[in-house]
Amino acid sequence: MDTTALQRALLALGYSLPKFGADGDFGGETRSALQAFQRRRGLPVTDKPDAATIAALQAALAQLHKPLAIDRAKFFAHLRSGAAPMFGKSLSKSQVAGIEGILDGFTVTGDGRDKTLAYGLATARREVGSGMVPVREGFRKTDADARAYVLRHYPTKYGKPAGPWGHVYYGRGIVQLTWLANYEREGIAHDPDKALEPEFAAELMFKGLLDGRWNGLGKGLAFYLPTGGPDDMKNARRTVNITDHWEEIAGFYRQFMAAISSQWSVMFTVRRAFFMSSGPPVGR
Range of the domain at 178: 136-194
Q: pLDDT class for 64, splitting at 50, 70, 90?
A: low
Domain membership flag for residue 204: yes
The total number of structural domains that make up the chain: 3
* Domain co-membership, 55 together with 164: no
Q: Is the pLDDT of residue 231 over 50?
A: yes
* Domain co-membership, 142 together with 186: yes
Domain membership flag for residue 150: yes
* Domain co-membership, 124 together with 256: yes
Comparing 22 with 275, the larger pLDDT belongs to 22
Domain membership flag for residue 277: no
Domain membership flag for residue 243: yes
DSSP string, the chain: --HHHHHHHHHHTT---TTT-S-S---HHHHHHHHHHHHHTTPPP-SS--HHHHHHHHHHHHHHTSPPPB-HHHHHHHHHTTSSGGGTT---HHHHHHHHHHHHHHHHH--S-HHHHHHHHHHHHHHH-TT-S-EEGGG-SSHHHHHHHHHHH-TTGGGS-BTTTTB----EETTTB-SHHHHHHTT-TT-GGGGGSHHHHHHHHHHHHHHTTTTSS---HHHHS-TTS---HHHHGGGTSTTTTHHHHHHHHHHHHHHHHTTB-HHHHHHHHHHHTT------
* Domain co-membership, 127 together with 140: no
Domain membership flag for residue 271: no
* Domain co-membership, 128 together with 141: no
Where does a domain end: 179, 194, 209? Answer: 194
* Domain co-membership, 41 together with 160: no
Comparing 31 with 268, the larger pLDDT belongs to 31
Q: Is the pLDDT of residue 253 over 70?
A: yes
Q: Is the pLDDT of residue 280 over 90?
A: no
Where does a domain end: 157, 179, 194? Answer: 194
* Domain co-membership, 173 together with 80: no
Comparing 229 with 280, the larger pLDDT belongs to 229
* Domain co-membership, 130 together with 201: yes
Where does a domain end: 64, 95, 113? Answer: 64
* Domain co-membership, 113 together with 140: no
Domain membership flag for residue 278: no
Residue 266 has a pLDDT of 38
* Domain co-membership, 89 together with 218: yes
* Domain co-membership, 127 together with 44: no
* Domain co-membership, 153 together with 47: no
